[in-house]
Every structure is written in structure tokens, then in C-alpha cells.
Structure 1
Amino acid sequence: MSEDGTRAISVIGFIGSVFSPWYAWSGRRDPANHVCINVATYGPGGRFTMTDRGSSALRQSADCLTVGPSSMRWQDGQLIVEIDEIGAPPMVSRVRGRVTVTPAAITGVEVALSPDGAHVWRPFAPVCDITVALEAPGWHWSGHGYFDANFGTRALEADFSRWTWGRFPTAAGATCFYDATRRDGSSLALGLRFDAGGSAQEITPPPKARLRRSLWALARETRADPGHIPRQVLPMLDAPFYCRAAVQTRIDGEDIVGVHEALDLDRFRAAMLKPMLAMRVPRRARWRFDEPSAPRPG
């Protein structure tokens, strides 16, 4: 998020694009044939890009992930994201530029989200500085951010019915909450407090507090001190099964604003939803790295 709270960006690299209808229709047999670098910008002139690409678009090394014309690489302690994508309908336009993520520290935390370890959350860097430089008016700014990852060996909707997640920057570092309802009837209620040096402490989460439903009437909740009513302060992504927003809450007496996500996997697994998603997630099965827009090694 930008320092003034008016703009934000999210970038997600997928190998096995879990929210792609094309990957679901393929039977999820070949994750490397459904890859994507999803970029969404929020605020004036915001765009959404999510192109499902085939295996010819994927290149990997120890410190670089390239998917078609876009890439992520570690260089001198920073994550550098080179973006060259096309926005989804109805805002079809090029989204191009660079995002630089500078972690305060890298954590050693790894959390199993399911008892058998089939789903894992890895908060690599909950405290980061970011610099955004996109080729669009108003999209040169600095702010705070985070870097994490999820890994899994089964479809999310096979093991979960819903979850909410939030990362909130604090004066001392950042606090994250992960709440999930599993299909076996059990639940996850996780709170982690990170300091700027990357040390983590598991905490007892404060009580759940309801947020107003999203534009698609998605039920939402987060964590807050008793009696405090959290609120959305910046809308981001709003879909029938998923909502991302900047949310203000109060934790241990500190008023904080962070990124909150709510995911309804009962809705996501509905067959009627996949054709709707295909309108926003185009499939481009073939890619040649000798094309003019292919990224140069950095």
C-alpha cells in the first residue's frame, strides 16, 4: 500500500493457477502448463491482469521466476518484479513497469494449514518496503508491503469451505491472522506477531469481529479488540467468491490498517462460476521467448 493509503498493488506468481478455470477444467494434471503472474492495482486508474499461460512461458532458476513477459527475481536482498501484462476486460490496456520489494528480514516460519500438511503458508517477509514504478500517471510511489506464499498438493476447495486472512502493519512490525473452516469440520484460528527482525510469536487472536458484506454479499470477518468495529477503508478486488480490501481494526489498543482477504470456496467450486471467470482470465497456451516483449535477463 502507498504511504498515503490511496493506492495499492498485489502481485502473485502461480505455478498451477489455483483460481484459473482453465486449470480446473484440465483436471489439474499439469501445474506447469497453467502459470501466471497476476497483477492488480487499486486506486485511480486501477487494472486487473491474470493471463493463464502454457508451459512454454515458464522459466525457473534458483532466484528467478519468469512467466511469459513478466518475471520476479531476487537481487541484492530485494525482490524485483518486472511487469508487462494486459489488463482484463473491460479495462483492456497494458500494465508495465517495475515493483521493488525490500524485506526488513526473512522469517523461518512455515505453517501447515491442514493437519496432513497438504496446504502450507510461508510468510517469508511480513515487513517490507515497496517501490512502485509503473508506466501510468500517478503510479510512481513508495509504501509498505509484505511477501508470502502458499503451497498445496490438493485443490483448496477440496479441503476448505472458507477462510479469511489479514496482515496488519504495527509500530513494532506486523500481525497476521489466518482463520479457516475445513471440510472435515475442524477450524484454524492462527495469530502471529512479527517484529522488524523477522522473529515470530504465536498469539491468542482477539475476538472475531464482523465486517460489512462485500459488493457480492460475501460474508467477512476479521479480528479486533473487544468492542471495536473494524471497517473497510479502501476497496480492492471484489469477486463472487473472493474479496480483498484495506481494513482498519484495533489490536492491543493500536489502530492499524492492513490488507484483508475473504475467500468462499463453496462459491468457487460451483460449476456456473468457471465460465464467468474465463472472461477475466484469458488462456494463452503458447509463448515464445524470442518475441519482442520477452524480458531480458536481469
Structure 2
Amino acid sequence: MSTIQSSNGNQYVTPGIGLSTAGYIAGSMASGAIGRVTNQVICGPILANGLKENNGVDTNAIRKALKIALDSTGMKDKGVTIKDYSGCKPSDVKSIKRIVNEFLVRIIKRKEKVSVLDFINAQAKEQAKLGANALYADKAVHVNIDRAGLTAFHELGHAINENGSKFWKMIQHSRKFLGLVVIPSLPIIAMCKRKKVEGEETTGPIDKVTTFIKENVGKLTTLAFIPVIAEEFKATARGNKIAKELLSPELAKKVSKCNKMGGLTYVVLGISAGVGAFVANKIKDAIAKPKLVKNPEI
């Protein structure tokens, strides 16, 4: 603990490591709970509603359209492929434990360089096998066309963003830094930073920056999602355009609805992350706040 002397003459004692740790843990738990509720109660049902559009669709028409689209968009020449998991059974899906073990082998025995994103994509590819999702990674659209073929057009949009536009490639790649570094770091910085008492001034550039982050962490976290949302919406626009050109009007509408549901989840996640960061910061401050020990006005 240390003493704070504010400009108005008040004196405070900072909270000890015990209270600070308790506040950090409580805030983190609250933020995590908000994230889980958002995924289970809001995003999960939205995605499920979008995936329902795949029921009974003409998958042959989808396959034909995707094949044509790879040529017409120039993605085939860029090396982009469609990895179709149709026919996969639950037994074909790797467990988290198996994925972890495979990555450990790659890191320890083979001395390969792997990233957190590689691990995330490996999990997502397994989910794609049974049509729970689809993704674009490693120059391929990973999708179970029989179960989630409509989602392939959005993922092809991601491929075009990466391989057909320097600007959107930059935005797409910035998502990795934002998602893995910036967005998780903002609430951590905010909760590790002690709230300024009344009359306490900032000292130096680092203190000013971290104080600004703490005071605006909810807004900043949501704002950090904007490039993510923008790139998702651009991929959707490209995918919808391809579907409209190559599919029947009925199928194209289903693609659009499916993509709309997927895009909505990113907006919800951005708002939820901001709310979670804001709440976590407030809880930490409520538990670990400086104690007034001297007030000349009393």
C-alpha cells in the first residue's frame, strides 16, 4: 500500500494486493459470464436460425456455383480451393485433446512454429466437418456443403478480400492483431490500472494513456471490433453478389439470410465485449478502491 496526496488536499491509501487481486478476479469472472451468456443465449440461436436455411437446399447447384465462382473471381488462379467435408461422421471429428496433442508434437518434436491462430483454426476446421460452421483459412474454404453449403459464399468473400484487394487484405490481417492482442489487452490494462481519486492528476505519457484506456475501456473495446465487423460485412457483400449471379433467386435469398444472421453475431459480440470490459472494470474499482484517510474539510 502507498499514500496518495490529491491536489485538493485529500489523502488516500491505495488498496493492498489482496483487494486488488480479488477485484481483478471478480471483474474477470463477471466479464466471462457476460461473454458466455451472449454466446449461448443470443449468438447461438442466431447462428442456428441462419444455418436452418440450409435444410433441403439444392447442394448440387451450390457446388456448381462455387466451382464457377472460383474461376470467375480469379480465386482458383490464386490457389484458393473448396474443402468439402460432406459425408463426415462424428467419429471423423478430432477432440480438443487430440488437437492439443498434435500441436505439442509439432512444437516439441518437429520444432515447428505455430501460433494461437493456428490452434483456433484447427478447432474451427473440426467444427466445420459436421456443418456447425464454415471458415476460410490456409487458402481454402472449409465447409460441409451438404449441411452448411450456403455459408461457403461468405467464406469465399473472405478469400476475395485476402487475395483480391490490398486494402481488405490489410483489414483482414489486422483482425488477428486486434482479436489476439488489442481486444483482450484493453480490459486487462483497465483492471490493472488503479482508478484516479478526485483531484489526482496524471503523470507522464504512459499514465495518461493507461488512464484514458481505463476511463473508456468499454467504448474502446467495442470500437476495436469495427475492422472485424467491416471485413465480415465486406465478405458478406461479395458472397451475396456471387450467389445472386450464380444461384436461383430463392437460393440467393437463403444465402443472404444466412449471411445476415452470421454478420449480426459479430455486431452482438462487439457490443457484448464492450459491456463486459466496462462491467469488469467497474467491479474491480468497487472492490479495490483507495481509502480516504485525511480530509481537511472535515
TM-score tier by shorter-chain length is under 0.3
Bigger relative contact order, structure 1 or 2, given CA contacts below 8 A and separation 6+?
Answer: 2
> More strand per residue: 1 or 2?
1
TM-score, normalised by the number of residues in structure 2:
0.25
When Rg is computed on C-alpha atoms for both structures, the one with the higher figure is 2
- TM-score, length of structure 1 as denominator length: 0.25
From the two aligned structures, give the one with the greater helix fraction: 2
